[in-house]
Chain A
Amino acid sequence: MFHRMKTLTAAFAASTLLGSALFAGELVINTDTSDPAPKAAFEALIKGFEAENPDISVTWNLFDHEGYKTSIRNFLTADAPDLANWYAGNRMLPYVNAGLFEPVNDVWDENGLHNSLASAEGSMTIDGKIWGVPYTYYQWGVYYRKDIFEANNIAVPTNWEEFKAAGETLKAAGVTPITIGTKYLWTAGGVFDYLNLRTNGYDFHMALTKGEIAWTDDRVRATMANWKELIDAGFWIDNHAAYSWQEALAPMVQGDAAMYVMGNFAVAPLREAGLTDDQLGFFQFPVINPDVPLAEEAPTDTLHIPSNARNKEEAKLFLAYLARADVQTQINETLGQLPINSGSAVGEDKFLQAGYAMLSSTDGGIAQFFDRDAPAEMAKAGMEGFQEFMVKPDRLEKILTRLEKVRARVYK
């Protein structure tokens, strides 16, 4: 409500200002970047933009992360800002289909973004048009306790057998191999994605999330069978359905668990909890099927212009600024993530460097994430099924049948 008021006052201010100063521009930005690092990154970004464009004054409405996902629908239709952050891939499809986002092909054409942001062009394109500007992405993979691995003489596993052997050694030492918190479901989606990418590959992942493949397909069963091996062997912490992903960090910090299949954003809280870089490491999710080219998961965050925006010219100016190599270097430095622009420098941080090295050598394809590649309803039903499967693996048949039923309805 408070944010809304601010927007309203900004709108009033804009209408009065327009009368007096001829060139004074207004720009309203809504974002959900309320965690400390993203907030600081956006503060710096906006300050930099204002310094270069002194005639444009920016109003920035900061939303709570979870609340944003529901309020975006309201403000896109009723009280649109000039820019709003969101996610690439299928996640933006409902808004594109409803005509609530504005295509920004001209921004890409005029600023040579087809070259500098080439890697993300595919995930920004729907129906041949480009719907926003990506500014950051981050790798997924396995974060692990280096010290615990070393204490038990475990080398970083590169294939499935080594991975399972490493888990057995850890269990023998009284350490649960992998921690996870599935209360909010998406963490299980990440695990499924990696098992599926390694078992069946990127094209299968995309076809499955596009609804072209039945959930009862044997290849899905193969993925689930691999997952079941880990469940039966007791690789996951108990009661994970009661924990959020942050709560599941605790066993890893305390040394009760050794690995976490996660995105790079987990590094910051792990460091804050006291783990040093000597204790914390990262490795690529191990190979399962050697015939499948390695594909990775790297979700992209983006900025869009709503169709109902009032100051589209200023918004495009901002997008061009955001796409610049030096700006992306700076913002990702603060975010602790990877820049999209190929001319940007990647931060010194060892996890960033590892992620960058991994992603730039990926030849199998880069997926967004289960809930960004699949449409909302399918994603929700799927991740709920994965959570259930992790606790009750013998219900596999029932779960797959249910997902197949949802697939039949969602993709008409």
Chain B
Amino acid sequence: MSSLWKRNQQRIAPWLFLAPGIFMFAVYVIIPIFQSVNISFYAWDGLGQAEYVGVANYVELMDDEAFYTSLKNNVIWLVLYMLAIPAGLFVALFLNQTVRGIRIYKSLFFFPFVISQVVVGLVFSWFYDPTNGLLNIALMAFGFDPVAVLADEKWVTYGIIAAGLWPQTAYCMILYLTGLNAVDPEQIEAARLDNARGLKMLWYVVLPQLKPATFIALVVTVIGALRSFDLISIMTDGGPWGSSRVLAFYMYEQAFSEYGFRMGYGAAIAVVLFAIMMIYISAFLFKMYRDEKGR
């Protein structure tokens, strides 16, 4: 027994250490994925008997206006949320200096990421309020007509994304700030001797060294955009007439909300969302794998 352990210690030990993590990951992530896929083939109200309906949920999904609205909004979210990365970089570069009290400024900029998304949503709904909101007071001061951002199907998604960018920028900023700490001062020095400065310095010397930070920022921003749920729930509840829904919210609405009794349909939406996320995740994983090999 003990000799078996001794002989294989090297091989068994990592699995022993991994076991709790693998167990949790399997129970809470891997198995539910398969369960979701399974449920998506049933019509089920979450209470009674589930009835097998084959791909009917997916067929219905293909003919569902609300699904396409949500999908379109998801794309808008994905594209515009990316603004958080350059914005975060800019703020990080701006704050990466040594002046008196810089720590206070840094924490102030980081503040929106620390407060709950629910609070961010509430603050922005007041900001957008058609009668008393700051935005419209400002617009009217400049002679524009007031805009009811959250009640207008044209503006509502952009309004919520703007609210989401606030904490997301802070998140990217903190990633870049830590990245900037690791920038090699000797290389900066050398570049400076070669007369590089300003944008050139940023583009050719600093940014390449920030690549790991950019990568992480990209990953968290994509995931953040795809699971943009809390802001929508707080600010518009998916409205007006469902025009600010994204897939995650639509899924919740169909399966769990006050009027949602369609677990199968909700699961089908979840599977589609998962497939979209999977494209990104595998692209990232592939890139990471290639980079590791290259080294």
Contact = CB atoms under 8 A, between A and B. Distances in A.
Interface of A: 66, 69-70, 73, 76-77, 94-95, 97-100, 182-185, 238-242, 371, 376-377, 379-380, 384-385, 387-388, 391, 402, 409
B236 A183 contact: yes
Nearest to B243: A388
A390 to B, nearest CB: 9
Contacts of A387: 239-241
A131 to B, nearest CB: 15
Contacts of A73: 46-47
16 contacts: A69-B258, A70-B256, A70-B257, A76-B47, A97-B47, A183-B237, A241-B151, A241-B240, A242-B151, A377-B259, A379-B259, A380-B259, A380-B260, A384-B241, A391-B151, A391-B241
State the 9 A-B residue pairs at the shortest beta-carbon distance, nearest first: A98-B47, A388-B241, A380-B259, A239-B148, A242-B151, A241-B151, A241-B240, A239-B130, A376-B259
B131 to A, nearest CB: 8
A377 B43 CA distance: 13
Given A387-B241, A388-B240, A98 B48 contact: yes
A322 B63 CA distance: 48
A242 B258 CA distance: 20
B148 to A, nearest CB: 4
B241 A385 contact: yes
B166 interface: no
Contacts of A95: 47
A32 to B, nearest CB: 12
Contacts of B236: 183
Interface in B242-263: 242, 253, 256-262
B186 interface: no
Contact of A70 (B48, B128, B237, B258): B258
A98 B48 CA distance: 5
B240 A377 contact: no
A251 to B, nearest CB: 8
A101 B257 CA distance: 20
B148 A242 contact: yes
Nearest to B147: A239
B269 to A, nearest CB: 15
A376 B261 contact: yes
Interface in B18-68: 45-48, 60, 65
Nearest to A188: B241
Interface residues of B, number: 28
A94 B150 contact: no
Contacts of B125: 242
B148 A97 contact: no
**Most chain B beta-carbon neighbours within 10 Å: one of A242, A376, A388:** A242
Contacts of B48: 94, 97-99
Contacts of B128: 242
A238 B148 contact: yes
Contacts of A70: 256-258
Contact of B239 (A66, A94, A241): A241
**Most chain A beta-carbon neighbours within 10 Å: one of B48, B60, B128:** B48
A66 B130 contact: no
B240 A94 contact: no
In terms of DSSP, what is the predominant structure of the interface of chain A? helix
A371 B45 contact: no
Given A70-B257, A70-B258, A182-B240, 13 more contacts: A183-B236, A183-B237, A239-B130, A242-B129, A242-B151, A376-B258, A376-B259, A377-B261, A380-B259, A385-B241, A387-B241, A388-B240, A402-B65
B151 A94 contact: no
A73 B240 CA distance: 27
Given A241-B151, A242-B150, A377-B259, A391 B45 contact: no
Given A183-B236, A183-B239, A242 B130 contact: yes
A240 B257 CA distance: 22
A98 B259 contact: no
Contacts of B47: 73, 76-77, 94-95, 97-98, 100
B45 A98 contact: yes
A345 to B, nearest CB: 34
Contacts of B131: 239
A94 B45 contact: yes
A196 B11 CA distance: 74
Nearest to A385: B241
Nearest to B258: A69
Given A242-B130, A377-B259, A184 B148 contact: no
Nearest to A77: B47
A369 to B, nearest CB: 13
Interface string B108-122: 000000000000000
A184 B130 contact: no
A385 B240 CA distance: 10
Nearest to B256: A70
A77 B47 CA distance: 8
B258 A66 contact: yes
B184 to A, nearest CB: 48
Contacts of B239: 182-183, 185, 241, 384, 387
A185 B148 CA distance: 17
A238 B259 contact: no
Contacts of B261: 94, 376-377
Contacts of B150: 241-242
Interface in B62-109: 65
A253 to B, nearest CB: 13
Contacts of B60: 409
A378 to B, nearest CB: 9
B259 A371 contact: yes
A94 B49 CA distance: 12
Given A98-B45, A241-B151, A184 B242 contact: no
A149 B65 CA distance: 44
B237 A238 contact: no
Nearest to B129: A242
